[in-house]
Structure 1
Amino acid sequence: MAEKAAEADRGLLVLRDADSATGALGIAFGSLLRREVEGMFAIVMTSVIDLALQDPLCSSSSNGSIVRFLPSYGAMRAATGAGFSATPLPKYLAIQAGWFTATALTGLLAFHIRTRNSLNGPRPRVTAPRTADTAPPTASAPAPAPSMPPQQQDG
């Protein structure tokens, strides 16, 4: 019974790491891409392609050399180890933590680069509101009427 609880805890740990890496990837895409549609498309397609290439039923190269560079490689291997064997997880969790760190730093760096111009720009000058004591004097005499050009007479 205790072994089942330990396996469940390991599985939840792996899911948390996979979610945090995908979330950090979303932050990076959100900082790098200009519109929401582009960001949503990028994160959905990255996730689908990432997991589809690692699925042993759909892909014959699920253990290929390129697969090791995908964002959820560590989480997929750790989940497989947590669910079906007694494989130690620290190696794969470290890979996933590396992905989280790299994507989070990329997102923060992109955000900093995009927003630094607005931080260093000229600041608007704030003036105190005018009161009755500091208001400019108003003229009490009415303004002269505009002059009309003389009309020409026919005849």
Structure 2
Amino acid sequence: MTATWSDSLSDATRHEITQHSRNRVALALVLVFIPVWLLLVNVIIPSEPVDFHSRPAGRTIPVDANELGMISGAMNAVTLIVGFMMFTAVRRSADFDRRLVLAGFPRSALLLAKLLALLAAAGVVALYASLLLLLFWRPEQFVLLLVSLSVSGLTYGGIGIVLAMVFRTELAGMFLIIMISLVDVMVQNPIITPSSAGGGVTLLPTFGAMQSAVAAAFTEDLTLRYLLLGILWLALAAAAGLYAFNHRTRDHNLDGKSTEPHQGAEAVTVLLTTRSDGTLQVSSSSGPVLLCTRLTGFTPDCPCPK
């Protein structure tokens, strides 16, 4: 029975979510790193007024430095964890995804499943971080703060997907995600960077999410349009990831030059004969032959095609 596109999407989404749930490093970061990080920020940064240039309000607003530091810490933790989760998941499933596509599994279902898993991961991590913030103080607009943190996670989830297409080792990916996230969030914090109101900060990945989060925490202004900047970053990263994914999962044997035998390669003869009982007999002039069929769908354990 041939699987429908919706069945393929359901299977792929279930696989992606299961893969995230088995990432013990990411789970440990969620459960331990976020509360410890927020607690350290709360202890280290004093509760003193500091000016924050709010683009949605169109003015500089006085905010509590301690609370602003915890918002920055929560956003830094969410971006780091979600970016690392997507980087790890995409890198580890690269070979398996290619085999699925070559066996007839729809690319669109695989890509949409990764985006749905990213949406779920960003939402769960952001919700956990937002609830922890309630232990220290109550923001003016909790839901908008939650959405802002979720958008920052989506942005870095897209960045994690792109980095997974470029780098092969988890160490390199984790290092880059940490450095990009730290610089991104810290530059926008007036406690660390007094000149954070400069025009260059508008190009940072979490600029829109940070502006929306601060406005949600300290004002009653609606800042939904600034969240679109984070969605734009996600769209750009998704487009780059789509191009890399299509290139990686393409059947290179269909290219014009790749079907030609290599110079000096030894000719191999494979003979297929039918027995009286209807089964096939395979014989080769150069040793064992590994057969995979596409007639009944894909077989995850089948190691071919390479």
Same fold (TM over 0.5): yes
Q: TM-score, normalised by structure 1?
A: 0.70
Aligned equivalent of 1:62 = 196
Q: Distance in 1 between matches of 2:273 and 2:171?
A: 43
Pair 30,130 (structure 1): closer, same or farther in 2 beyond 3 Å: same
Q: Distance in 2 between matches of 1:17 and 1:87?
A: 18
Aligned equivalent of 2:153 = 19
SS in structure 2 opposite 1:97? helix
Task: Render the CA deviation track for 1:26-55: whole Å, top value 9, x for unaligned.
Answer: 001111223322211111111111011111
Aligned equivalent of 1:32 = 166
Q: Distance in 1 between matches of 2:228 and 2:165?
A: 25
RMSD across aligned positions (CA): 2.9
Aligned equivalent of 2:246 = 112
- Give the counterpart of 1:42 among 168, 171, 176: 176
More strand by share: 2
Runs of 4+ in 1 over 4 A off after TM superposition: 126-135
CA contact (8 A) 1:28 1:108 kept: no
Q: Distance in 2 between matches of 1:109 and 1:11?
A: 33
Whichever of the two has the greater Rg, that structure is 1
SS in structure 2 opposite 1:26? helix
Q: Distance in 2 between matches of 1:120 and 1:45?
A: 40
CA contact (8 A) 2:139 2:216 kept: no
Deviates more, 1:41-50 or 1:109-118: 109-118
Deviates more, 1:34-43 or 1:74-83: 34-43
- Give the counterpart of 2:221 among 68, 71, 87: 87
Tell me the amino acid that sits aligned with residue 107 of structure 1: G
Deviates more, 1:68-77 or 1:32-41: 32-41
Q: Distance in 2 between matches of 1:129 and 1:89?
A: 70
Deviation at residue 70 of structure 1 after TM alignment: 0.7
Between the aligned residues of both structures, percent identity stands at 32
Deviation at residue 103 of structure 1 after TM alignment: 1.2
Task: Render the CA deviation track for 1:71-115: whole Å, top value 9, x for unaligned.
Answer: 101110000010011222122111111111111211221222233
Query: How many aligned positions are there?
Result: 130
Aligned equivalent of 1:103 = 237
Could you tell me which runs of 5 or more consecutive residues in structure 2 were left unpaired when the two chains were aligned.
1-137, 260-269, 282-306
Tell me the amino acid that sits aligned with residue 86 of structure 1: E
Q: TM-score, normalised by structure 2?
A: 0.38
The question of 1:51 aligning with 2:185 is answered yes
Q: Distance in 2 between matches of 1:19 and 1:129?
A: 57
CA contact (8 A) 2:189 2:196 kept: yes
Could you tell me which runs of 5 or more consecutive residues in structure 1 were left unpaired when the two chains were aligned.
136-155
Q: Distance in 1 between matches of 2:253 and 2:146?
A: 40
Q: Distance in 2 between matches of 1:129 and 1:5?
A: 75
